[in-house]
Amino acid sequence: MTQSAEKSAEQTIITRNDAIIDAVKKQMAAEKTSQADLARVLGVSTTLINQVLKGIYKGDLGSILLKLEQWSADRRDAAEARAQAVTAPDFMETPTAVEFMTALSVSQQLKKYIIITGAPGVGKTMAAREYFRRHSAVTMVTLSPVVSRPLSLLQHLSDELNISTRVQSRMTRNLIDYWNARPGGMLIVDEAQHLSTQALDELRSIHDQSAVGIALLGNENLIERLTGDNTAVEFGQLRSRFSIRVRRRTPMPQDIEMMLNAWAISSKEMRVFLVKVASKLGHLRTLNNVLEMAVALAQGKQAALELKHLKQAYVYQSGHQLEGA
């Protein structure tokens, strides 16, 4: 090899080495990786990394540059995987969501007392929250077991609306006056199955005197109490007040299809598995949780989402394997 060729080859090596070091520096800056962090990952000393990055290392530069080049490539691949990864979709107007939101709209426009019930995970709360987000005249409260009696309900509503009175009879009157002063208002009560019969009747009284639209959202127990075979007088009075009853025990097939499309699930075997997941307790909520966890598992291994990640995520969620899958 001529002297000129040797110089050219040497310069090529130097240029390539500089390019590797420059790429590593940029990657470190972008990810806020310290020299100590990088040294720990590569299993070398911080001093060695410092000297290599400064261009003053006198040892076997080739071997350390190979490690640095691989580290930089791995970090770029991981960043690309994160950028391309599927993520949980925002609210989707599934057929079931449209059904729920239509009922809420009728309740608000016609000032009706309605009931929406269904199994956990069919999308009641998500649809109600979206309706609440879109309409400024809507008040939405979510109840818990401690809010079951008339007084606790009235206190909860008063706090939500910044009404300070604590005398029960006055609280009822203030709530009625509040909605009478705001025509077109609406109250959405989520987790309404926690309410006692007396508390439900208190809402009926507020509705009758203010004509505010009221929507009760709850589980199957709620609709069984209010629209079933119970012949008690108080249930009969409540039952006759409901203008709309929407009951959804399971999500519609189109709901599931929309969610899988939103998650960009194209694999037939993955879709078949996830349809089975959506048929289990928790329905769309469980489906979404499994997908979120499966994506996290895949990202942790810097891999594309596969059926094995979905199956592993389901086991984590449920504590057992999906029967027949």
Share of the chain above pLDDT 70, in %: 86
Cα separation, 200 vs 192, whole angstroms: 9
Pairing of strands 242-248, 138-142: unpaired
pLDDT digits (tens, 9 = 90+) for 243-291: 778 899 999 999 999 999 988 888 999 999 999 999 988 899 999 999 9
For range 10-15, the mean pLDDT: 56
Of 211 and 97, the structure prediction assigns the larger pLDDT to 97
pLDDT at residue 27 above 90?
Answer: no
Query: Rounded mean pLDDT of 179-198?
Result: 94
Residue 143, pLDDT above cutoff 90: yes
pLDDT over 60 (residue 7): no
pLDDT score of 104 more than 70:
yes
* pLDDT attached to residue 9: 46
User: In 259-309, at which residue ranges do the beta strands (DSSP E only) sit?
Assistant: none
* Lowest model confidence (mean pLDDT) among 15-24, 233-242, 290-299: 233-242
pLDDT of residue 223: 75
At residue 10, does pLDDT exceed 80?
no
Would you say residue 240 has pLDDT above 80? no
Q: Which class for 151: exposed (0-12), middle (13-18), buried (19 or more C-beta within 10 A)? A: middle
Q: Residue 57, exposed/middle/buried by CB under 10 A (0-12, 13-18, 19+)?
A: middle
Of 62-71, 126-135, 226-235, which one has max mean pLDDT?
126-135
| Neighbouring residues of 202: CB distance < 8 A, sequence distance ≥ 6 | 150, 153, 154, 172
Tokens describing residue 40: 């720990």
pTM over 0.85: no
Query: How far apart are alpha carbons 25 and 31 in whole angstroms?
Result: 10
3-state class (DSSP) for residue 247? strand
Instruction: Report residue 19's pLDDT band, with 50, 70 and 90 as the boundaries.
Output: confident
In the chain, what is the straight-line distance between the N-terminal and C-terminal CA atoms, in Å? 65
pLDDT for the residue numbered 224: 76
CA dihedral 293, 86, 133, 194 (to 10 degrees): -20
Of residues 235 and 141, which shows the higher confidence score? 141
pLDDT at 165: 78
**Residue 322: both structure tokens together:** 């999906």
Q: What digits encode the pLDDT tens for the residues 189-235?
A: 999 999 998 999 899 999 999 989 999 999 988 877 776 655 455 55
With a pLDDT cut of 90, the percent of the chain lying above it is 50
Q: What is the mean pLDDT of the chain?
A: 86
pLDDT tier at 5 (50, 70, 90 boundaries)? very low
